[in-house]
Amino acid sequence: MRIMVCTERDVVTCTALNRLLPGLAGHTVMVAFLDPGPVDLSSGSPLRASDRVEREVFPQRVLDPLDRLPAPPGALLSFGHLLRRYGVPFHALDRADAGDLHRTAAAFAPDVILSLRFGRLFREPTLSLPPLGILNTHSGALPAYPGLSAHAHALLDGATGLTCTLHRVDAGIDTGPVVAERRLPFDRTRSILWHLPALYTLGAEMFLEALPGLAAGRLPAARPQERAARRYRSELSAEQALELERLGFRFVAGRDVDELAARFTGTATGGTSAACGIRTFDRAVPGPVPRTSAGAGALEGHRP
């Protein structure tokens, strides 16, 4: 079976790909990713500071240097080492060219597409391209939490755990039938960022559970969403993010960044958060991070 994975190039998806790609052995796979680009911190939202750690700082300070090593030093593999170990081509999508996604998908001709924290909507004719459809991993329960920042909205509403939902993609936004969902207990001694790799790894596992049926040409069973229960969520505002902090939640914490880095580097030095400008239990991530030569374009150039 031909499987196309659409994702973004950040530490959360890299962790989930470490679970997903080994389970896709025997299938023809390609990964198409968007480089998230620079994060705007001007709103003062702690959510933006967390986004910057996972999308800019961690990839550039941890993942990109690991790509240049001859062998992976830790339990988790960086993007370049995932590509080399599993022989999966990675294609960098052009963020400025909306048609690049369809051209890439049409050229690959997938049987199914998995959207793994992918920051772009699927429209026709891409929606009708894969015979087995498109499945999406969503960071909230459906139909209660469609839209952006679903996990954070749930916490703001008093949830004691996070939910990852696997659903079919249709012409709406998070409106397709639900295939499966998994719940992740929330540890209040940890930051929100610390939970996200595990949350999306649950999404990867749900797709792998559906894989045997998909490989046999069967669409996974799914329940339609109750439309009356839907309440679309926009991206968490700066005020809502600050309210979460007032409730005792932290978006990012130094020890959590260090622990995650150690899973990739194999060393628990505790220096990653300091190099990233993060003080323990502090959301501040000051100063610009220069782009490195081992970014998205360099990754696309690797071929097994």
224-267 pLDDT, tens per residue?
A: 999 899 989 899 999 999 999 999 999 999 999 999 999 999 98
Question: CB neighbours of 119 closer than 8 A, spacing ≥ 6?
Answer: 8, 34, 36
Q: Is residue 292 part of a domain?
A: no
Over residues 15-36, mean pLDDT: 96
What is the residue-averaged pLDDT of the chain?
89
Over residues 158-186, mean pLDDT: 97
Q: Is residue 34 part of a domain?
A: yes
Query: Does residue 299 or residue 222 have the better pLDDT?
Result: 222
Q: Is residue 80 part of a domain?
A: yes
Over residues 122-147, mean pLDDT: 97
Task: Say how far apart CA 171 and CA 107 lie, in whole Å.
Answer: 22
Domain that holds residue 98: 2-287
Give the per-residue pLDDT at 289. 38
Q: Is residue 90 part of a domain?
A: yes
Q: Is residue 293 part of a domain?
A: no
* Cβ pair 257, 272 in contact under 8 A: yes
Question: CB neighbours of 118 closer than 8 A, spacing ≥ 6?
Answer: 6, 7, 8, 34, 136
Q: Is residue 296 part of a domain?
A: no
Does residue 135 register a pLDDT over 50? yes
Q: Is residue 302 part of a domain?
A: no
pTM, rounded to two decimals: 0.89
Over residues 92-102, mean pLDDT: 90
Q: Is residue 297 part of a domain?
A: no
Does residue 37 register a pLDDT over 90? no
Over residues 137-160, mean pLDDT: 97
CATH of the domain at 51: 3.40.50.170
Give the per-residue pLDDT at 38. 86
Q: How many domains would you assign to the chain?
A: 1
